[in-house]
Amino acid sequence: MSFKKIPLILKILGLLPIIAVIIKIYTSIDNESENAKRFYNQSFSAIVSSNSYEGRSIEFHLNNGLKVYFWPSSSLDEKIAIGDSIKKEDSTYLYFVYRKENDNKYKYLSSYDFKKIE
């Protein structure tokens, strides 16, 4: 059966999954770009409120709506965890992570660059 003999409706239905994938990729890239711009421009102090797997990385959600990303590893708890405090100055991708100790005070843990997934 040649492509020319396939009814038009089947051709359109066959293109729908391809169009859906293209739209998903575009919106994913656009959302990531918007998150990076907001992250760069804002100065904030936020708490890590949750996490989820996003592709091959772990996406950590901040209580201000922004997200940071890390590669999964056995030493991930040494990097960032839910409840950690993140502080960042405006016009930079560098941010600082603080972890709450037993005395309920935050202690400096590490600094990271948003553009480099670690």
| pTM, to two decimals | 0.65
Between CA 31 and CA 49 the distance in angstroms is: 19
| Number of C-beta neighbours around residue 87 at 10 A | 15
Digitized pLDDT (tens) for each residue of the chain, 118 residues in all: 566 788 888 888 889 999 999 998 888 777 778 878 888 898 989 999 998 887 778 888 999 888 888 877 656 556 788 999 999 999 998 989 999 999 999 999 988 888 876 5
* pLDDT at residue 75, rounded to an integer: 60
36 burial level (CB within 10 Å; 0-12, 13-18, 19+): middle
Do the beta carbons of residue 39 and residue 93 sit within 8 Å?
A: yes
* pLDDT at residue 103, rounded to an integer: 93
* pLDDT at residue 78, rounded to an integer: 67
Residues 6+ apart with CB under 8 A from 95: 68, 86, 87, 88, 111, 112, 114
Domain boundaries, given as residue ranges, for the chain: 3-113
* pLDDT at residue 6, rounded to an integer: 82
C-alpha radius of gyration, the chain, whole number: 20
* pLDDT at residue 4, rounded to an integer: 73
